[in-house]
Structure 1
Amino acid sequence: MVVEKEGTFEAEGKTLYTKSWLPDDGATKAKVVFIHGYSDHVNRYNPFFRFLASRGIAVHGFDQRGWGRSVAAPADRGLTGPTSRVLADIAAFIKPHLPAAAGDPPVFVIGHSMGGQQALTLACEPAYADDVVRRVRGWLLESPFIGYPPETRPGALKVFGARLVGRMLPLRQMLVQLPPANLSRDAETVASIAADELMHDTGTLEGLAGMIDRTAALSSGAVRPKGGAVRSLWVGHGTMDKATSFEASKRYVESYAGEVEDRQFKAYEGWYHQLHNDGPCSEEFFKDVADWILERCGPEEVAKADSKL
């Protein structure tokens, strides 16, 4: 059994929806803070989170500003604010879950797609290095938006135009739909995405421009782990992902060997974008994530990692 708890989180005057998936016996071996993707919400990851909780890993997630159940009115859709606001929200949500004393369960951050991009940007941000990043035991990225797949890569002029308009009309809403059939090979998942009214596919020009800028910074190497703040990094990506670039993720992990010694890239051959919802095979992804986390939760492993800080 798994205990599910809903709640709210106050972030600079905005009330955001939260949900936790907890081991029912109270024996929490690790905690996960989860960051969802574009036009997504945490309840769409329910099977994944229930699996983690069944392995003793508590999961805490929230619907980001502008998405899911954190949208109170149509005008709120996609209203994420600039990258600085996005990162501040995520950091504020992580902090209460961080270990407060010796023996507290270690904390891991998982981000999917846009959420993986945001989590990685936060992990590389010097302003959060000491009070957040160094205190997180490991960062896991599922299909992170570090680069565009070849078939959807925009030209330089289009990117420049999007950034310019985003600065001129930041609150203007724009429909940007990711075709459900491109996200998963599972027919039931594809149908549920198309029917999910909370997945509104609406971004603001400011939010979309911020997402483009973060992708450019990560893929170019302008934003990268610094100073040993990132202890451990795991990245999983499907080779047939049609929403984000498999090659960009692989290249990112390979490029920063010196900055992150404990790192792993897992290629899922033939899989699509939503590794957590790609049919019955998704249990392989569930197990990979849980095993990687639990391998870093023993007293000896925690002490070894802490000694390097």
Structure 2
Amino acid sequence: MGWINKAKRADAQVNAWLEQFLTDGLCSHLTPIPSLSPIQDSSGSFIHPPSASERMSSVSEQTGWEEGPGKCSFFTKRWTPTGKESIAKLIFLHGFMEHISRYDHVFQRYAEAGIEVFAFDQRGFGQTAARTKTQGQTSWPAGLKDADFFIMKEASPECCNSRKVFLMGHSMGGGLAFAYTTRSPPREGLPLITGGLVLSSPLIEQTPGVAAAGALIRLGSFLGAVLPKLTLKVGVASKDISRDPVIQEQYVHDPLCAPVGTYKGVGDMLLGGQQLLSHDYKLYPSTLPLLAVHGTADNVTWHDATQQLVEKTNAADKTFKDFEGFYHEMHNEPGDDKFKEIDFIIQWILSHVSK
């Protein structure tokens, strides 16, 4: 049995080496996060921003669970205006290593403006992953299938009552949202996105200086293809997500922002983003309005790549808006700065409701 134990030790050493190698290269802007205890108040509860129901009686916030593709149980959330009919609907895809409850303050404001918002913790993230201990276990094919499932349901004529439907994604979710519109053949739910596409700091390319070498990305993708559930501990550096130190602290201590990914999931989103800029932009539907917003000081995803994507895309109605000095999560910037980005998107959506 001695040779078996030696083989096991060798396998563990190889896996540890690969994890360190790719953490330093494939995810050079993704830094390991120390194991920290969540921030708690005197009652022992985790500290989070107040919910919509606590802060705004004009907004209804509903949470639930829904079984999706592959019998995966997804945590879902819906923000709707109360006392008046919503005039548009938004379906949202969140970013890497985060979850939808981080957007309460954002979508409360959307709902106040008359926009109903539906979102779900994606496969491998947030409460969806926490329930089944599947943190980081995702891929672009799975993510696209999940998005199609919820779009088919949430954007159906029976569900929307002739309202315009918009699709939005942030960071990883932004790349996935653009990919959704450029598949061949088109995804079944694409015709149901009638209002437009919104990209927030989308992962098209990593910011130069932190981007991994192409060879390392391909190596990670190869490992992911062979071992799709092989995980590595990675995390977005908190100092790069926002200029607000409170947001940085909350992010580091958030138990649902688990610093875990898979070689498959990380490889897909990095190579997939590059493919969007090099080829897939040609398949974007010209009649679907496009808005992309990006901070000029984003040290996670590259502002210039997003601008290039919009310029190359053959959309008849397209807008690129940059925010000078803003970091990756513009909706979480300090003070009133966050509302500059939030309100810009709201006004763009409202301006396209009647088009």
When normalised by structure 1's length, the TM-score is 0.91
Deviation at 1:126, TM superposition (A): 2.7
| d(CA) in 2 for partners of 1:61, 1:94 | 10
- Note the 1:288-303 alignment, pairs <5 A: 288-298=344-354, 301=355
| d(CA) in 2 for partners of 1:14, 1:73 | 10
| d(CA) in 2 for partners of 1:192, 1:230 | 40
Q: Deviations over 1:252-308 (max 9, x none)?
A: 10112xx2010000010000000110112011111111100011112xx1xxxxxxx
Query: Which of residues 281, 289, 296 is equivalent to 1:224?
Result: 281
Aligned to 1:21: 79
| d(CA) in 2 for partners of 1:285, 1:72 | 30
Gap change, CA 1:65 and 1:267, over 3 Å in 2: same
Deviation at 1:9, TM superposition (A): 2.0
Q: In 2, are the aligned partners of 1:166 and 1:206 still within 8 Å (CA)?
A: yes
Aligned to 2:270: 212
Deviation at 1:143, TM superposition (A): 0.1
Q: Percent identity, please.
A: 29
- Note the 1:278-289 alignment, pairs <5 A: 278-280=333-335, 281-289=337-345
Deviation at 1:74, TM superposition (A): 6.9
Q: 1:58 is paired with a residue of what secondary structure?
A: strand
| d(CA) in 1 for partners of 2:161, 2:102 | 32
Deviation at 1:105, TM superposition (A): 1.1
Q: Deviations over 1:75-95 (max 9, x none)?
A: 401111x32111010111111
Deviation at 1:15, TM superposition (A): 0.4
Deviation at 1:195, TM superposition (A): 0.9
Q: Which structure 1 segments of 5+ residues have no match?
A: 302-309
Deviation at 1:99, TM superposition (A): 4.7
Q: Which runs of 4+ in 1 moved over 6 A?
A: none
Aligned to 1:264: 319
Aligned to 1:277: 332
Q: In 2, are the aligned partners of 1:67 and 1:198 still within 8 Å (CA)?
A: yes
After superposition, the CA RMSD in angstroms is: 1.6
Q: In 2, are the aligned partners of 1:99 and 1:105 still within 8 Å (CA)?
A: no
Aligned to 2:255: 197
Q: Does 1:52 align with 2:107?
A: no
Q: 1:224 is paired with a residue of what secondary structure?
A: helix
Deviation at 1:175, TM superposition (A): 1.1
| d(CA) in 1 for partners of 2:150, 2:332 | 25
Query: Which of residues 235, 245, 257 is equivalent to 2:292?
Result: 235
| d(CA) in 2 for partners of 1:65, 1:294 | 30
Q: Does 1:176 align with 2:231?
A: no
Gap change, CA 1:199 and 1:227, over 3 Å in 2: closer
Gap change, CA 1:100 and 1:225, over 3 Å in 2: farther
Q: Does 1:64 align with 2:122?
A: yes
Query: Which of residues 88, 97, 107 is equivalent to 2:165?
Result: 107
Q: Does 1:253 align with 2:310?
A: yes
Q: Does 1:167 align with 2:225?
A: yes
| d(CA) in 1 for partners of 2:266, 2:212 | 13
Q: In 2, are the aligned partners of 1:99 and 1:106 still within 8 Å (CA)?
A: no
Larger Rg over CA atoms:
2
| d(CA) in 1 for partners of 2:327, 2:245 | 12
Paired positions, count: 294
Deviation at 1:26, TM superposition (A): 3.9
Amino acid at match of 2:262: T
| d(CA) in 2 for partners of 1:253, 1:73 | 38
| d(CA) in 2 for partners of 1:74, 1:202 | 14
Q: 2:177 is paired with a residue of what secondary structure?
A: helix
Aligned to 1:42: 100
Deviation at 1:248, TM superposition (A): 0.2
Deviation at 1:40, TM superposition (A): 0.7
Q: 1:141 is paired with a residue of what secondary structure?
A: strand
Query: Which of residues 171, 187, 190 is equivalent to 2:245?
Result: 187
